[in-house]
Chain A
Amino acid sequence: MSRERDYRRVMKVLGSREQFAQGDVACAYGAILGGCDFFAGYPITPATEVAEAMAALLPRLGGAVMQMEDEIASLSAVIGAAWAGSRAFTATSGPGFSLMQEGIGYACMTETPCVIVNVQRSGPSTGQPTEPAQGDMLQARWGTHGDHEIIALAPASVQECVDLTRLAFNLAEEYRNPVLVMTDGEVGHMREQIVLPAEDEIELVQRRPPTDEPGAFVPFRAVQGSVPEMATFGTGFHTYVTGLTHDERGLPATDDAEKHTKLVRRLVDKVRDDTERLTRVEVDKEEGAEVGIVSYGISARSAAGAVRIARAEGRKISHLRLISVFPFPERAVRDFANGLDRIVVPELNLGQICHVVKEALEGEAAVELVSRIGGEIIPPKEIVRALVEGGEKV
């Protein structure tokens, strides 16, 4: 079965390059333009539209879409397909994301490229299914057990749903790690004008195939950098993939502390050491500002509104928007905070990334939280008030 990579054919299925589209659907577009050819998912508000869009679009391009029996099966099928050679993803929300944590850890340990879209909704538990939130951010980083690294991106617009999902696939292939696209119910269901990329704007980064022959190839040894080449199943390499601690041959080595340390350090360092390279931020620094905002995702839209209002009132405000949230852009945030007395962090939770910011700043500036839960995104005036009067001390 040929899987369609021809841009003309893909665009014939996706429609016009300019569309007034919903965030969830935009994630599907981004995935397809990012080379996705396998999707497995399970219905969950507010992410169901991703699955519906994929179900309508991907089979026309020769890709497979499955509604699995639950979220665990969805991510499992994605990982299986990835080892069979697929660029695969799933999409879910909080309750499903919680179920997927074991699978995320498995993907980290086995260095399986895969993408997970989490359209965050109000929690905990069943919470407010139709209301947006940003309550899964620390779970994104630490939801699965054990030492691992995660790459997480935070779209703040429908356009970024396209662009960052597309990017997520390339990062997953490059780092052989799960990549999370952390949207939310607001961005996911909101509609804005998008422009899909032109053919010459698309570059697909692929996992590197083995340079050695079967027999000589060592599947979990990085010959170049810290990411090993990947042998697709069914090509004669007889790769054994396990979630157990393994040696470079992929064989279990559970009673060897040195081998475990070497492996897990490499898994962690391959992402952590590339933090600068993975950092994506948008900085709006104002000369003479003493207070700044560090924002991400939908709250960055509220923050941008607050900056506009505050500046109209004659105030000097700087603003940094995290586009990549993990690995946390520590350097960029510290550089941003240079010269600032206070940093305000708006989020749709009771304080998550604000703690990471505080830790990164090491007292360089005071960190304050503007928090809102319950579904309404933060009105800009609330952030302005915090800028002027002070927010919740972190």
Chain B
Amino acid sequence: MFNQAKKIRDKYIREEMWPSIFCTGCGIGNILNYTLRAIDSIGLDIDRTVFCSGIGCSSRLPGYIEADGLHTTHGRAIAFATGVKVYRPELSVIVFTGDGDMAGIGGNHFIHAARRNVDMTVICINNYTYGMTGGQVSPTTPAEDFSTTTPYGNLEEPFDLCRLAIGAGAPFVARWTMGFPYETIAAVESAIQTKGFGFVEILAPCPTGYGKANELRDAPANWEWYKKNTITRIDLARLSPDERAANRKIVIGTLWQEEKPEYVERWQRLVQRLQAEDEPATPS
């Protein structure tokens, strides 16, 4: 495992940017690890891959990868990524984003890209907080939780990002916690290989921001919390109907998978049709 980690690091990590900025117990570094293993395992051409991100701790990931990276403005990574992909369909586009970046300020771009079904992979690292700015409430912070801007407890309900993605039309939606490395790697592989908007939400700890305010001050406490509060889709299916109805745990696993027309393919077909109409192959 360690040798593999070193191999991945030597192959993909931008050495000048190392070590990373991530805090002790942060889960973002793990997700970098999983993502690199996923792209390595499927043999993605790193020279034809572009990583996009917005603003936040999660959005720092492209900087650590020796590849083309587009670190953009807060919430807009998916819109930038759309331009990259539509203009150069042969490139693989992977977006790193966080719960605040994607579902707060970026919510609109998220749902529209899913609706359009542009071929890209969006990895949303959900740590229930705006971590970079010190731990403010985010659109995924559970109700009644504490943060620097909800010192008396969160009065709002959180998004279920996967439900949102499914509702918006994403053809591949999966959610794991960073405590499931192999499942997460497989989910990222599937998302990349999905012809369309592949969405992977990964719950990861932020002990410094979210954790400190909510009695989850270190990594083990967070992993315990995930174990206690999540249930795989398969396990959920094994419960009785009553138990399933009563379930309050977060469902993890591949939550949605379908095939549907992808945006770039449709545009390419349109262009071919128009150009054939303008310049018929057989001379008249």
Are B275 and A60 touching (Cβ within 8 A)?
yes
CA distance A252 to B63 in the complex (A): 9
Residues in chain B near residue A84, CB distance under 8 A? 50, 83-84, 87-88, 91
Docked complex Cα distance between A243 and B60 (Å): 12
**Of the candidates B14, B68, B80, which one forms a contact with A234 in the assembled complex, judged by CB atoms under 8 Å apart?**
B68
Please judge, given known A-B contacts A1-B89, A84-B88, whether A242 and B63 are in contact too, CB under 8 Å: yes
Docked-complex contact B71 and A242, CB < 8 angstroms: yes
Please indicate the chain B residues that have their CB under 8 angstroms from the CB of A237 in the complex: 68
Residues in A with CB closer than 8 Å to B66 are: 238
With A77-B86, A236-B47 known to touch, is A1 a contact of B271 (CB < 8 Å)?
yes
Q: Which of chain B's residues 253-284 have a Cβ closer than 8 Å to chain A?
A: 267-268, 270-271, 274-275, 278-279
Partner of A80, one of B69, B81, B268: B81
| Residue A172 lies at the interface, judged by CB distance under 8 Å to chain B | no
B244 within 8 A of A: no
B112 engages A69 (CB within 8 Å): yes
Residues of chain B contacted by A174 (CB below 8 angstroms): none
B232 at the binding interface (Cβ < 8 Å): no
Which B177-219 residues sit within 8 Å CB-CB of chain A? none
Tell me the complex Cα distance, A13–B271, Å. Answer: 13
Is residue A14 within 8 Å, beta carbon to beta carbon, of the partner chain? no
Q: Is B16 an interface residue, CB under 8 A from the partner?
A: yes
Query: At the interface, yes or no: B62 with Cβ under 8 Å from chain A?
Result: yes
Would you call B83 and A60 a contact (CB within 8 A)? no
Report A250 CB to chain B, min CB distance, Å. 9
User: Could you say which of B17, B71, B83, B88 contacts A76, with CB atoms under 8 Å apart?
Assistant: B83
B47–A235 contact, CB under 8 A? yes
Question: Does more than half of chain B's interface fall in helix, strand or loop, or is it mixed?
Answer: helix
Q: How far is the CA of A40 from the CA of B14 in the complex (A)?
A: 32
* A73 engages B69 (CB within 8 Å): no
* Number of chain B interface residues as a range: 35 or more
Q: Are B112 and A68 in contact (CB under 8 A)?
A: yes
The reply to whether A78 and B62 form a contact with Cβ atoms under 8 Å apart is no
A interface footprint on B40-80 (CB within 8 Å = 1, 0 otherwise): 00000011101010000000001100111111110010011
B74 to chain A, nearest CB (A): 8
B9: chain A residues at CB < 8 Å are none
- Measured CA separation A243–B279 after assembly (Å): 43
Q: Write the nearest CB–CB distance from A237 to chain B, whole angstroms.
A: 7
Distance between A219 CB and nearest chain B CB, rounded to angstroms: 10
Q: How far is the CA of A242 from the CA of B51 in the complex (A)?
A: 12
Say whether B108 faces chain A, with CB atoms less than 8 Å apart.
yes
With A68-B112, A81-B87 known as contacts, the answer to whether A76 contacts B73 (CB < 8 A) is yes
Query: Given A79-B83, A81-B83, A240-B14, A106–B271 Cβ distance below 8 Å?
Result: no
| B82 and A83 contacting across the interface, CB-CB below 8 Å | no
Given that A59-B271, A59-B274, A80-B79 are known contacts, is A102 also in contact with B73, CB under 8 Å in the complex? yes
- By CB atoms of chain B within 10 A, which of A59, A80, A83, A234 has the most? A80
A81 touching B63 in the complex, CB below 8 Å, given contacts A12-B278, A68-B79 = no
**Which one of B14, B17, B87 lies within 8 Å of A38 (CB-CB)?**
B87
Q: Are A72 and B267 in contact (CB under 8 A)?
A: no
Chain B window 118-141, contacts with chain A (Cβ cutoff 8 Å), 1 for yes, 0 for no: 000000000000000000000000
- Chain A residue with minimal CB distance to B115? A69
Interface pairs (11), CB distance under 8 Å:
A64-B87, A69-B109, A78-B83, A79-B72, A81-B84, A88-B87, A106-B73, A234-B88, A240-B62, A242-B71, A251-B63
Q: A62-B271, A240-B71, A249-B16 are in contact. List 13 more A-B contacts (CB 8 A).
A: A37-B87, A38-B83, A73-B76, A73-B108, A74-B79, A76-B79, A76-B82, A85-B88, A234-B68, A239-B68, A240-B62, A241-B70, A251-B63
